[in-house]
Amino acid sequence: MANETPMPLTADPDDGQAPPATTRRATVAALESLLYAPIPVLDHGFVRVIDYMGDDAAVVQGARVSYGRGTRKVSQDRGLIFYLMRHRHTSPFELCEIKFHVKLPIFVARQWIRHRTANVNEISGRYSILDREFYIPDPGHLAAQSTTNRQGRGGLLEGEEAARVLAMLRADAQTTYDHYELMLNERDTGETIDPARQGLARELARINLTLGTYTQWYWKIDLHNLMHFLSLRADPHAQYEIRAYADVMLDVLAKWVPLTCEAFREYRLGGLHLSATGLAIVRRLLAGEAVTQATSGLGKREWTELMAALARDATPAA
């Protein structure tokens, strides 16, 4: 596990809170109202904001390397932020940071940890007994393997097949957790199961748990790298379970830095990056030329993606 540390297993609303105080640093009222409040995700997960530094004005200040707000108008700040996003000037966005407390299934955490631009501290199964909580997909997300994408989902499982899969997921998770407690000789309540028997070390007993078991961590990241994370994980092609967390964090982003989030949606989430060949194809199409995949210079997959983005038929008549 990533940098294992003892950590409370529940979302205590008072955990880490400082008493009310005045401050000279920039605060964002919409985000202040979210601090420490768990936002539910999936069946047992949550995201909550623990702390943050900076706001839209801090991005502008960092870009201009000046002090104070002066007489600038919001429209001027918005124009500069949009310029920075449009031209990929990323360093001003790195000056803002945010820290989350996240409760998530282990298999989601293993996808998440691939983003190596954050500071992470995860609860440790060496010190703590993990909760009897595991992710069971909603039937509406129980899909078959895609036949066209090795890392995607196809049509939904239905009827007896879906019921059988859900029953296996529940039974396996319950059974492995029962064995986990028996090996520990201790329940998650702290109760000893058999006083006459010594339990297995926690660091060994945990290896039997399923990847659907919930873990928790604190995750701190700067604004630029958060947007990179969201550009990949809030994308429709991302796995549903991690996308559910990204969607919540995208809402947090909109409350924290609304101008930056607007620019991010415009140029990253809703925009399209074209290769040199792709741009040449668009120019040819605008000139009225009939371009096909065979004459485009693109491979079949890239051609199909470009035509989908342009809302055009990928296989027009030659």
The residues annotated as belonging to the active site are 233
Q: How far is 4 from 217, CA to CA, in rounded Å?
A: 9
- The helix (H) or strand (E) run that includes residue 258 is helix 258-264
The b-or-e profile of 134-145 (16+ CB within 10 A means b, else e) is bbebeeeebeee
Asked if 229 and 223 touch (Cβ cutoff 8 Å), the reply is no
Distances from the Cα of 105 to the Cαs of 182, 183, 251, in angstroms? 22, 22, 21
Number of H helices, E strands in the chain: 12, 8
DSSP 77-127: HHHHHHHHHHTT--GGGGG-EEEEEEEEEHHHHHHHTT--SSEEEEE-TTT
From the list 217, 205, 304, 227, the residue with the least C-alpha distance to 271 is 227
Q: How far is 95 from 88, CA to CA, in rounded Å?
A: 15
SS3 assignment, position 256: helix
Q: How far is 132 from 87, CA to CA, in rounded Å?
A: 48
Task: Say if residue 168 is exposed, middle or buried (CB neighbours under 10 Å; 0-12, 13-18, 19+).
Answer: exposed
Distances from the Cα of 168 to the Cαs of 137, 164, 179, 181, 301, in angstroms? 12, 6, 16, 20, 36
- Return the beta strands (E) in 157-276 as ranges: 214-222
Q: Nearest-5° angle of CA 208, CA 211, CA 216? A: 105
